[in-house]
Structure formats: structure tokens, C-alpha cells
Structure 1
Amino acid sequence: MVHRLEPLVIRHTHRLSSPTGPVGEGAVAARQFDAALMSVGFKLSAELLERLSGLSEGTVVFTAVRTLGTVRAMVGDRVRHNAYFIDFPANVPDTFDFWMRCISEALADDATRAGTLEQLSEGVVNLLTLPSYGRYQHTYEEMLAAHDELIAAAGDRMTALHLGGAAEDELTALYLALAGSSTPLGEEALRDLAVLAGHCAHGPQPEAIPVRENRAVVNRARLEAGSGLLLDTVTDVLRLACALSDGDVTLGEPTRFRGLSRPVRRALLAGLDSVVAAAPAKLSDVAVHREAWKRLGERLHPHEYPRWPHSADVFAVARGEKEARSFDSRVEELLGRNDITGAVKLLESAPGRLFRSLDRLLRAALTQEERNAVVAVAERVAPEVAGRVVLSVREHLHNRGEETGERRVFVNRLGRAWVAEDTRPPVPPAERKRLITAFDAEIRRRLPDPGHLLIDPDVLDVALPLSGKATAAGLGVLPRGSVSPVDGELLRFFVYWKQTSRDTDYDLSALMLDAGYRTVSWLSYTHLTDVDGEHSGDITEAPDGASEFINLRLGAVRGAFIVPQVNLFSGEGFEEVAESFFGFMLREGEQKGRPFEPRTVRMKSDLRGPGRVALPLVFLRGSDGRWRAKWLHLYLKGNPSANRVEGNRVSVAMLVRGIVEREQLTVRYLTELMAGGATATTVWDGETVPEGPVTYIGLQRPDGLHPESRILTPENLRDLIPA
């Protein structure tokens, strides 16, 4: 069981549980293991290599086999990446010439000649009817033989795996970190938490579980283990019911509730009864999810359990038989009467809601007295508001300038994005400045004493991970809005997908924009080559998986922005396919190798979102001529089918502009606040490591840090957000 869960530790922490086994001469096998890891862009830390070298050869081999499979999947090397054009990026033909060749081959084929001639007579040829279009014309092995071996370069990615503790200790530590996270987890991390919660149900538990969906996942494990439930609102019970039905614990999508056993029904009804008995006012939360409560009531049969009368009240409210006005309706009534003072007084009892309403309250306030009241209450309740909410509102106010008429970008929790004109009047500048100052002071107060602060400068422009939903699962992935350097001469995008049950065609494209966000050029299946680079060719079905690539010479790229995108042309959506992911590689000009070389992969992220057009990130050319990546993790609604870069370039440009010009709170912001309380602050030079304990914040953990150091990297950067 423990061995089955160890991949979770590797993925989330880049640590390998301390290998156990007979003492022996494992040095040779350990070096071979390290070499195999390096071929896919990973390596053993010095401490881990030393530990393995002292174990038996069989133990090292057993560890290597398990670990290599995990890291290869992390980087996208678990699958075979073929390219339509066998020599890609060499010898990619002109698009028109390629299409003419496909037509000629169809005319030479007895089975397709008549149909092709008929199409030609009508003046339009459907490329998908041509036998040589959209399907690999060579095997994976033939493609490998057509390429030279990759020559290693100093700039290749190298991700270190560090020595962890005992396997059970590592699993427990990961469980406590995920369950106790102060920010919502992403979809993959939430699934991993569910697995860990079941394994760790009888072990140590976090002191607090502030995120409600995390609590639902843990409550399911506690219920199945016979432990007490953690409930303090009626919605906690609804989320738990969703978890028991493998539904959406965020309550964003309807859950189809399953039949529940009598013991489970009793536990849920007893939990509801205790919550309402302790605080009847919490019935007001029922109306927010009225329909879900009605459907759950059909499964719980509360009328069969008269000993829990307060639980029956929940369903009476849902059915409209009992009145319990929601908190939001009371606030709206006061605002509808322009009673700002009354609304603020009511919201003071719900600090989180007050903070999320500050923009609206300040715009609605008609007098200086009302504005002063809003700010005064916000300052007073700030210590009671979750850190991520304080930071989110602080970022929001920072971006609310005095100008109106700008474009406003909306992004929902699933990453679906759209743009609209911002017609809101500005937030009063004096109150805006006063609130920002107060929030900075509150965050500074909550930050722990860092001691000696050691900072990797490359992490400073990483956006604060205020929600795991703003980051896709994968390797080298950063939160939405983060900016990271791009060092290399060749930039290569890749997409891989495998259909579930019907032919599916994803199209990788790259849109180049100038400084005014106007189209300069693009690469796609309709435009295979340009001075900027090459497209690997269109694949139109993926029963066994398919890959597409775009190769760009950064020095030749025209324009200021590169926007890679994945368009769904036909078939299954990103949430329907068996698997789909996007990434990019960086190479030096002289590096050859296969179209996909794992050690050159800088980022690989899952594509699992709504919409028909995926926008993982955008590349920006700075005034210094250097390129940087800004992370998007966005999805456009697109068309039901036949999405193409030519058709969405205007909407993509508008969205990119809105994201690029928005300023995120970054690690730089928090480290500047932390530096005020640090005994020393050092910018890491990439080599020198202090002797004593430090608080290290960086993109990768260095070797040789003191064992009592606190280490914060993208894998656990959420721990930087104060509770």
C-alpha cells in the first residue's frame, strides 16, 4: 500500500521516501539510476545518491524502476510522441504544396480517386477525406531512426530529487500539508488528498482545515473510518454528501446523489441536527443551494428519523415550507434602500463577505461619512479574514485605478475566461489607498519570523498561489499571472491527446502579436512554415494517442507576444478525452534530437478545462529583448467545432491584453514584507548555501541546506500564504 502511494510524495514534494533494504554495494546501480534520471531531466541529490549507494543493488534497482515510471509520467515521457512530418523541424513543406501532394496521392489511389475528382469539380476538397492527410505515415520507431541523438547542453532542465524520511512519515506530512492548506487545492491535489485521507484516517490530523472542500474530503474518510465529523455549517454536510457520491465538493456543478446506507444517513442527519440546534440562524445558508438540498432529502428520508427534528428543518427550508432568509438577501435589501451604514453593520458579522463587497460598498457610498464607516469596519475585522481573502482584495484594489472604460477580464474557478467592458466607476482613491495600507500591515503582522531569509531571484515574479484552481496540474507549472524567464534559442510547444471513444482532432497553433496586440503571423495546420518557425503537421484522430509540435526560433520571431493555443477542431473536449497535456521545451541552436526530448521540457501541464480553446501561457518580449513567460491557464468557450487560430485571434488578443496588463501580487510582495522581520536577507547566487537554518524561497531546493531550514518551492508555495 505504501509503495503504491509513494508517487504522490514524488509529484508533490520532489522527495523520495528514504529507501529501505539490506546494506550492500549499490554505488554502481545508484550511478546508473542517476544517469537514467538525467536522460529525462531529473537527478539524485548528493544526499540521496549517497543513501542509495550504501544499499544492496537489488534495492536500488527496485527503487529506480518505481521512481523512473513516476518522473517520466510527470514530464510527459510516458507516451510515444510521434510527428506527422518524420524529419520535423527539418523539411516541413509549404502548406499549399503539402495539400497538393495529398490530393495527388488520393488521385493515385483507386479507392479515393472518384470521390476526390468529384470534390475537385465542385472547387472544394475536404482534407479529411484524403488518405494521407491527418494520419501518421510512419511508425514511431521509423521517426526515431530519422533523428540524431540529443547532445546535452548546460541549459537543459535538471530537477533534483531529494532524500525524504520514512515512507509513512512522508505520506503523513503530505496529508497534513494538503488537508491543512489555507488555499483551495487544484483538482488533482484534491483527488490526491482523498486518497491520503483514507490512508491517514487513524493517524495525526491537522489542527485546522480552513478550506471547506478539503474538509469534505477529509470528512468522507473520517466517516468511513468511524471517526467524528468536522461540521460547523449545514453546507459542510452538503459537501460531505457530494463527496460520498464522488460529486463536486466545491458545489459548482450539480451532484447526482447515490443511494446511501442507513448508517451514513444517520450520520449526516445527526450532523445536520447538531449544527442547527447549536445555531438556528445557520438555516439561512440552505437557500443558497436549495435544489441540491431537495435532491439530497430524497436520499436521506429525514421523516424516518424524528429524533433529529432540527435536520428536518433544513429540508423544510429547502422546500419553502419554513422561512429562513439568507444573509445575502438581507444585505441586498439594505443596499436596495441605499442604507450603506446598515449593510456594513450587518456585513461586519461576516468579515469575508464584507471584504468581497468592499468595492461595491465604496462605490455605492454617497457621503464621506459612509465611506469612512466602510473603511473603519474593514480595518476592524481584518484580523478575522482569511489571509488569501485579504491578499485577493488587496490585489483587486491595486488594479482598480481611477480610469474607467477599460476592458475587464473574468475568470471562473474552472479557468473559463471572457472579456467585457469595465463600466464601473472608480473606487475613491483616498479610501483605496487607506485600505491597501491597512491590508499590508495586517499581512505583515501575520507573517512568521523568517530568521535568515534566502531568496532565489527567479521566484520573485511568481504570482501568489491564492487558489490551486489558478494552476494546472503538471511539472514546472506556476500560478496564473506568474512571470518566469525563458532562456534558449529554440522554443518548442507540444500537445498530446488520446481520445476515449470517438475521433478527436486537437490543433496546436501559435499566434504572434505586436506591441499593440495586433496579429503579425501565426503557425498552425493551415500555415505550416514561416520565418518564425515550423508546425509538425496536422493529426486528426488519436485512438492510440497523437502529438503535434511547433518549433520557433526566438531570434526570428516578429512581434512582442507569442500565444500558443490548443484548438478543439472536432471530437471530445478537454475533460472528455482519456488524456491531454501541453508543454514547452527550450533548446540551444545546435541541439538536435527527437521532436520530444524530456530533458529539454521546461513545463508540462494537463489540459482539463471547459471550453474549446486552451490558452496555457503567453510569451512576452521585454524591452531588453529577452523573452519571458506569463502563465494563463485559461479556456475560451470557442465554437462547437472547427475552432481555428484564424477565427479566434481577436478574442485571444483581447484576453491576453487583459491578463498581461493586470498586476498580480507576487512572491516579491511577501518577501519584501518578510524582510522587515528577518535577521538577515540573502539573494541566492545559485551556489553558496549558508551554514545555519534559513527560510529558503526559490524555484528549486538547493543541495546542502541546513536540516532545520524551512523550504518553500512551487510545490508547497501555498504554505507562504498566511492563514
Structure 2
Amino acid sequence: MAHPLESLVVRHTRRLPAPSGPAGQGSVAARQFDAALMSVGFKLSAALLERLSELNEETVVDTATRTLDSVREMAGDHVQHNVYFVDFPANVPDTFDFWMQCIADALADDGSRDSTLAQLSTGMVDLLTLPSYGNYQHTYAEMLAAHDELIAAAGDRTTVLHLGGAPDDEVTALYLALAGSTTPLGEENLRDLRLLAEHCADSPQPEAIPVRENRAVINVTRLHAGRDLLVDTVTDVLRLACALSDGDVTLTEPTRFRPLPRPVRRALLAGLDSVVAATPAKLADVTAHREAFKRLGERLHPHEYPRWPHAADVFAVARGEKEARSFDSRIEEMFAMNDVTGAARLLTAAPGKLFRSLDRLLRTCNTQDERDAVVAAAEQAAPQVSGRVLLSVREHLHNRAQESGARRIFVNRRGRAWVTTDNRPLVLPPERKRFIDALDAETRRRLPEPGHLLIDPGILDIALPLSGKATTAGFGVLPRGSLSPVDGDLLRFFVYWKQKSHDTDYDLSALMLDAQYATVCWLSYTALTEVEGEHSGDITEAPDGASEFINLRLNAVRGTFIVPQVNIFSGENFEAVEESFFGFMLRDAEQQGRPFEPRTVHMKSDLRGPGRVALPLAFLRGSDGRWRAKWLHLYLHGNPNANRVEENRVSVATLLRGIVEREYLTVRYLTDLMAERATATTLWDGTTVPDGPVTYIGLERPDGLHPDSLIITPENLRALIPA
């Protein structure tokens, strides 16, 4: 019998929990399963194929059915991808000729002739009123019949599924990895953690849960199980209340609190009371989320529970009836008095906040004594700062070497971005170098002894996942700022969406820019063909789901940058539709095949963010002529309706420049530090696997690694961030 969370393990780890069942002759079914997997770009490892071959045929077939469903969804092959132009990318018409044909069809239609003539008399025609525009003119089966089979090529993606351990062991290991993550998780991973926490309530628990959002999700399970809550700040209790109402535990978006049962109210009030009783100064944290605490107080009725007076103080502060001076206000007072040394000394009580304030402290210093005091305070506090903050500050200081007037990009945790000119005074080189050396030394100290370090060079330019918010959910998705090679003759983008309750029109576009970020051309529903490639045609509603594609010949691209984007023209936003995702495929010129072929999909990313324009990634042509993907994960605000590539070219170019010119801290930085302590360091050549245990860091887990090896791939890259 399958474990209910088996598909979760496959998605997160690329491991299939060890199938179990009666022994038998399953080798034929196992080979057929392997062949079916290869058609969607996956493959069984040798150990997994051997394991399945020892089971009876019925067990193998059941396992294959479940697993195929999981991996097809990972690659985006769980839906039907039709195209407007049945022969796409062949025979895509000129845009103007196509529009004229749509008008001719409307004039030949008795139902639309009069309205079309009336529009023509005004000199303007609304394309959406033309019967043949925006709707599929053929069935999915007819589209498939119009295309030859895909020719296999060496560049086709192959993702290996490995044999896992016992199902419960795999689920527990995944729970411990997510719960103990040293970096915040994205929305999808938080949802997965909640499911895992419910299932693993009686399983081993992580030694530490450093991320507050993770703690809130796990506290829900602990509360329902009658266990002690993991809370040491009043904000921990607020996050738990948000989780109980299916709200935002990151506290970015307001939560509408539900009525809470009396036992839950008692537990939350007791938690607040214990925190404040132990450390009254923590009442100051209430002011940062005053409105949320006021709304929560309306649900908890603290006046009904006089035995918890400290909990009542929390809501008195929220209502302004009791004063609790915040730590930040004391810091601001020091800055107002130009007492930099005093501010640095006070900030040592909050090491993380001290490190986040280093740039400001150094800019405010007027004397060398003040600068020395700030540096000394930071060096003293460094061992108490989380690894994620250390690395974030390291990346920040590296980029502060730029001259004044450079671009400064801001990206919030939901992917909304903006760029401004950086006019801050420079951090003086001596202090900057001293800080960087101290950060490198502290990071090196925290990294584990790697033993034999085996590195896949392809992962070295992947940005460190300092926050799960910098990566959207999906398959083959990398953190913002990552660079990855693009090998192939044809680059094909795709977007799929399915509306929930209203007609919804998403438009896939691609903007080509030169080395100065000026527009060269674009492909969209307003420019169906260019020298570079073709657009598959505009679909204007998606009650049953709809897809759009852009096909690009990379050797024909005029320019240095390719920026695909998804514009919401009308209808439901990215978070309101039933489903929406973007991705890209790579093919050789002679492969043919359907518009969508899962084994050529190299990335598929969910579209779940704010704004009306999504910018998942961009493609950069290097000085060597090779193309690389630069991961963006950005959203533009856009307009309420009618967003088009033509209208946001300047905004897109500005954001792209900010991301491209920023240097991100990559895996290479940590592997260089680890190599200093390794017994041996080997660059993996794709074929030779060492006999003994290794610390392997790479894009894909090689088959045949020693069972005691530590394996780091993009799926668990967060494990590389030191605690």
C-alpha cells in the first residue's frame, strides 16, 4: 500500500520510497515503467529498477501509475497543451495578414457581419469581437496529428529517480529537513511542512527550529496534540494564531482571524503570559504588529482570563493603553544624538539586528574610533548571528564596492521589485575588508568537515538560497540570481493557465534587448513572427485550460538578452486562477515533435505572485557567444487590464539591469571555503564515482554513490547554509 505522502517525497527528493509487496517476476513491467518514465524525461536508477524487478507485476504497475502521475505533473505534462496555430512553429502567419483573415471570417459569418461592419466604419476593430480570434480552431487530437514524433537527442533532459528507504523513514527525513531548515521556506514548502507535521506528530522532532514561520506551522500540530508550544516571543504566538486561521505566518499579509475554541484561546493566552512574565521587555515587540494583535485580542477575550495578566498587557500595548518602548525606538534615539558607538553597543543585545544595521552604522561614523568600535562590536557578536544573516551581509558588502550612483534593487519576499539609484556614501575599504574577512572566518568555522568533496561544476554559479522566498515552486527552478547554461538550438517558452470563475486572458511575450538594455524587438500576440522565432497565437479565455508558446532560434537572436514575460491582459490574477505555470524547453533543430514535449522541459515554475506581469527568468548571451539563464522570480505591478510587452519595456529593462549587475553569493563561495578543510576535492566528470563516502554537491545525484555520502542538490540546497 502506498504511503499517502509518497508523491511529496518524490517531488522534494527525487527518491521513490522503497516499494513493498509480494515477491515475483516484475522485471518486464519494471522495464516498461522505465520506458514510460523516459518519455517524460525521467528514469529509474539501477538500484530502483532492480528493486522493482523483484516484486510481482501488480505491485510494479501500481507503483508506476502513481509515480508517473507525480512526475508528469512536475514537468507540466498533466494537462493538454494545445496551440492556436495547429502547425506551430510552422506556418505561423504575419500578424497583419492574420488579423485581416479574422476580419474576413467575421464578415462571412451572418452572426458577426453587422457588428464588424459597424466597427470598420469607425476605423477600429476590437479583435476580441471576431469569432475566429482567441479560441482554439481545432481539437487537441487534431493538433497532435499534425506533428511528427519527437526525435530523441542527447540534450533531452533525464532526471533519475533513486531508490529510497522505508516510506515512513523517507517522510520523517523530509519532515526533519524542512522543519530544521536554516532559511525560510516558500509558500508551497510551508504547506508541505504542515502536512508532514501532522503526519509526524509522534515521530522524532528536530533538535532546533530556527525559522519562526516553520515553528508556527509545527506549533499547530503541537497544540492539537496537547504538547507544550515552542514560543519565546509574543510574535511566535501571533504567527501560531495566523496559522490556525490559515493566514500568512510570515505576517506580510493581514489575517482574518477565525473564532477560536476555548481550549485554543487558553493555550494562546497562556503562551503570551509565559513569554512576557519571563521577559517583560518583549512587550515591545507588540508595536511592530499592533493592528494584528488588536484583531487577535478580539478573538481571545483576555479579560475573561484574569489568571494571565501578562497576556492582557500584550493587548493593552496594542490598544495604546500601556506603553512599551520598542528596542528600535531606543536605537533611533541613539542615531538622532549621533551616538554611533552607543547604538553599536546597544545593538550587541540583538546580534542579527546589529548585522543588518552595519551599513548604516558605518555610514554614520565620523571618526576612526567610532568605526573601530562598530567593527569590534560586530566581530564580538558574529558567533551569535544566524548563518543566513552572515551570508546575506557578506553578499551585501561585496556589492557595496560599487561606485556611488550604481543601481540598487529591492525585492520583497513576494517578488515585487523596484530599482533606484544608490547614492549612499561608500563603506570605506579598510572596514569593508575587515568585515568580509571576519565573515569568511566565521562561515568557515561553521561549515562541517566535508571529507572527500565531490563537486559538479554546473552547480557553482547557483545562487545560495538565503530565503525560500527567492525561489518559486516548480521543477528545475533555481534561486534568484542563479546562472545556468542553456544548450540547444531552439528555446521554447510555454505558459499554461486555467481560470476558476471568470474569463481570463494571459499573454506570453518575449522581449529582446541589446547590450545597453535597449529594445531590439519582441514576440507576442501583436508580433507573431520575427527573425528570431514565432508565437503560437493568442488564447483569450481558459475555462478548460489554455497554453501559449514562443519558439526562438538562438543563433538568430539579435541582441544580448531575452526576457520572457507573462502579462495578465484581463481576468483573474496569478493567485486567483485554478492553476498557472511557466516553463521552457530546449531542443535540437531537427527534433520536430509536439509543441509541448515533457522530456525537453528544463524548467517549470508556478505563477503565484502579486502584480499583473510575471518575469520568471532572463537569458543572457555571454562574451563567448553561449547563452545562460539568469533567474529573476519577479513581478511587476502592471495595469488592472490590457498589459502588453510594449508598455512595460522600460520597467523590465531597468529591473533586469539591476539583477544582472548585482553579484550574488553562489555555491562556489561555500565550496571554496569547504575545500580548505576537505581531505580531497574532485570535480565530477559525469562518469567516475569514488568508492568511499563523499560530500557531493551538484545539479543531479549520480547513481552509485556510497550510501554514507552526504548529497546536496538543488532540491535540498538550503542544507548547505550553516546554522
Q: TM-score range with shorter-chain normalisation?
A: over 0.9
Q: In structure 2, give the amino acid aligned to 1:281.
A: A
Question: 1: distance between equivalents of 2:681 and 2:144?
Answer: 49
Structure-1 residue corresponding to 2:673: 673
Code of the aligned partner of 2:176: L
TM-score by length of 1: 0.99
Give runs of ≥4 in structure 1 deviating > 2 Å.
1-4
Q: Does 1:642 align with 2:645?
A: no
Q: Distance in 1 between matches of 2:74 and 2:418?
A: 30
Are 2:706 and 1:703 equivalent residues in the alignment?
Answer: no
Return the letter of the residue paired with 1:107: L
| 2:145 match | 145
Deviation of the 1:342 alpha carbon: 1.2
Match status 1:385 vs 2:374: no
**1:110-136 Cα deviation digits (max 9, x unpaired):** 111111111111011000000000000
Secondary structure of residue in 1 paired with 2:192: helix
Asked whether the equivalents of residues 222 and 229 of structure 1 are also in contact (C-alpha less than 8 Å), the reply is yes
Any conservation in 2 of the 1:498–1:579 contact (CA below 8 Å)?
Answer: yes
Q: Is the 8 A contact 1:402 1:429 kept in 2?
A: no
Q: Tell me the SS of whatever aligns to 1:629.
A: strand
Which range moves more in the overlay, 368-377 or 41-50? 368-377
- How far is 1:433 from its partner? 1.2
Q: Which residue in 2 is equivalent to 1:315?
A: 315
Displacement of 1:3 in angstroms is 2.5
For 2:289 and 2:201, how far apart are their aligned partners in 1? 29
In 1, the alpha carbon distance for the partners of 2:426 and 2:614 equals 32
| 1:361-382 alpha-carbon deviations (Å, 9 max, x no partner) | 1111111111111111111100
RMSD (Å), alpha carbons: 0.8
Counterpart in the other structure of 1:163 = 163
Indicate the SS of the match to 1:3: coil
Letter in 2 for 1:80: Q
2:198 is aligned with what amino acid? G
Q: What's 2:575 paired with?
A: 575
Partner of 1:614: 614
Please name the residue that 1:205 is paired with: 205
Rounded Cα–Cα distance in structure 1 between residues aligned with 2:88 and 2:273? 65
Letter paired with 2:177: A
Query: Which residue does the alignment assign to 1:76?
Result: 76
Q: Distance in 2 between matches of 1:121 and 1:347?
A: 72
1:203 deviates by 1.1
Check if 1:479 corresponds to 2:443: no
The residue aligned with 2:51 is 51
Query: Quick one: distance in 2 between partners of 1:408 and 1:645?
Result: 24
| SS of residue in 1 equivalent to 2:5 | helix
- Residue aligning to 1:242: 242
Give the secondary-structure state (helix, strand or coil) at the position aligned to 1:715.
Answer: helix
Partner of 2:104: 104
Report 1:192-231 matches (<5 A).
Answer: 192-231=192-231
Q: 1:397-427, CA deviations, whole angstroms, 9 ceiling, x for partnerless residues?
A: 1001251112211100000111122221211
Q: 1:167-200 deviations in whole A, cap 9, x for unaligned? A: 1000000000000000000110000000000110
- Paired residue secondary structure (1:4): coil
**2:402 & 2:248 partners in 1: Cα distance?**
39
Q: How does 1:429-468 map to 2 (within 5 A)?
A: 429-468=429-468
Partners of 1:129 and 1:387 in 2: how far apart?
57
How many Å separate the matches in 2 of 1:693 and 1:110?
75
- Structure-to-structure mapping, 1:9-158, within 5 angstroms: 9-158=9-158
Q: Deviations over 1:310-367 (max 9, x none)?
A: 1111111111111111111111111111111111111110000011111111111111
Match of 1:630 in 2: 630
TM-score (norm: length of structure 2): 0.99
1:282-305: CA deviation from partner (whole Å, max 9, x where unpaired): 111011101111110011011111
Tell me what 1:605 maps to: 605
Show the counterpart of 1:361: 361
Q: Cα offset for 1:477?
A: 0.5
Partner Cα distance (1:714, 1:28) in 2: 33
Structure 1 partner of 2:282:
282
1:602 deviation in Å?
A: 0.3
Check whether the contact 1:534–1:552 (CA below 8 A) recurs between aligned residues: yes
Which residue number in structure 2 is paired with residue 714 of structure 1?
A: 714
Q: Distance in 1 between matches of 2:175 and 2:41?
A: 27
**Residues 457-488 of structure 1, C-alpha deviation per residue, up to 9 Å, x if partnerless?**
00000000101110011111000000000000
Equivalent residue, structure 2, for 1:656: 656
C-alpha deviations, 1:89-147, integer Å up to 9, x for none? 00000000000000000000111111111111101100000000000000001000000
Letter in 2 for 1:350: A
3-state SS, counterpart of residue 700 of structure 2: coil
| 8 Å contact from structure 1 (residues 402, 427) kept in 2 | no
Question: 1:2–1:168: 8 Å Cα contact kept in structure 2?
Answer: no
CA distance in 2, matches of 1:119, 1:431: 69
Q: CA deviation at 1:53?
A: 0.3
Unaligned runs of 5+ in 1: none
In 2, distance between residues paired with 1:334 and 1:13?
A: 49
In the alignment, the residues of structure 2 paired with residue 511 and residue 380 of structure 1 have an alpha-carbon distance, to the nearest angstrom, of: 49
Give the AA of the match of 2:348.
E
SS of alignment partner, residue 716 of structure 1: helix
Corresponding residue for 1:415? 415
Q: CA deviation at 1:2?
A: 6.0
Q: Secondary structure at the match of 2:4?
A: helix
Q: Provide the C-alpha distance between the structure 2 equivalents of 1:402 and 1:561, rounded to a whole number of angstroms.
A: 23
Letter of the 1:243 partner, please give it: A
CA distance in structure 1 between the aligned counterparts of 2:2 and 2:310, rounded to whole angstroms: 42
Alpha-carbon distance in structure 2 between the residues aligned to 1:366 and 1:693: 53
CA distance in 2, matches of 1:574, 1:660: 25
Task: State the distance in 2 between where 1:583 and 1:247 align.
Answer: 29
Counterpart position of 1:490 = 490
More deviation in 24-33 or 299-308? 299-308
SS at match of 2:715: coil
Q: Secondary structure of the residue that 1:230 maps to in structure 2?
A: coil
Counterpart Cα distance in 2 of 1:200 and 1:108? 65
Q: What SS is found at the alignment partner of 1:376?
A: helix
Amino acid at match of 1:499: Q
Letter of the 1:571 partner, please give it: G
The answer for the alignment partner of 2:685 in structure 1 is: 685
User: Hey, what's the Cα distance between the residues in 2 that align with 1:353 and 1:246?
Assistant: 29
CA distance in structure 2 between the partners assigned to 1:93 and 1:260 by the alignment? 60
Query: Counterparts of 1:402 and 1:588 in 2: how far apart (Å)?
Result: 40
Write the deviation string for residues 636-677 of structure 1: whole angstroms up to 9, x where unpaired: 111111111111111101110110111000000000000000
- The 2-side partners of 1:714 and 1:226 are apart by 36
Partner Cα distance (1:197, 1:101) in 2: 58
Work out whether 1:7 is the aligned partner of 2:7: yes
Are the aligned partners of 1:202 and 1:225 in contact in 2 as well (CA < 8 Å)? no
List gaps (5 residues or longer) in structure 2.
none
Aligned mates of 1:296, 1:357 — CA distance in 2: 31
CA 166–318 in structure 1, closer or farther in 2 if over 3 Å, else same: same
Q: CA separation in 1, counterparts of 2:140 and 2:4?
A: 30
Rounded to whole Å, the distance in 2 between the matches of 1:12 and 1:29 is 26
Distance across 1 between alignment mates of 2:152 and 2:189: 33
